[in-house]
Amino acid sequence: MLYLLIVLIGGVLSYFAPWWIIAPVCFILCWWLARKPAHAFWVSAFAAVTLWLGYAVYLQVVTGSGLADNVAAIFTGSMPVLTDMPGIVIVMLVATLVIAPVAGFSGLAGVQMKRLIHPPR
């Protein structure tokens, strides 16, 4: 349930708000629903990665432009090993490396803040 709420609420708010809106969403939902810190971290990270990768694939399919290849060229300019890799794969890898810690630590902070204010008995 936590996973679905993060994906749904995060997806709706990401349409209107900046990229980092997923962090407060994970914080608030993990404060409310999560019981264990590890569960909060991994569910938040996985939900945010799913949301971002799904949106990246959607943009790639709908636009059909070479934007992913151009962005990937920024990261692989002087690395000939990575030039054979499709641009969308590199963009997805970078997106995963950015959003997983942001969302994971945000969810972890939410459950830890709840434990600080209302200690478990």
The pLDDT tens digits of the residues spanning 58-95 come to 888 888 777 777 777 777 777 777 777 777 888 888 88
pLDDT-derived band of residue 47, with 50, 70 and 90 as boundaries? Answer: very high
**3-state secondary structure (DSSP) of residue 76:** coil
First vs last C-alpha separation in the chain: 24
Instruction: Note whether 26 and 103 are within 8 A (CB).
Output: yes
Q: Which two tokens stand for residue 49?
A: 């990665």
Longest dimension (CA), the chain: 56
66 versus 56: the higher-pLDDT residue is 56
**Residues with Cβ within 8 Å of residue 94, at least 6 apart in sequence:** 75
Q: Residue 44 has what pLDDT?
A: 98
Instruction: Provide the CB-side half-sphere exposure for 25 (13 A, CA).
Output: 28
Token pair recorded at residue 58 = 């959607």
pLDDT at 86: 78
Q: Are 105 and 41 in contact (CB under 8 A)?
A: yes
pLDDT on residue 65: 72
Cβ-based neighbour number of residue 110 at 10 Å: 25
* Cα 113 to Cα 37: distance, rounded to the nearest angstrom: 10
pLDDT of residue 7: 96
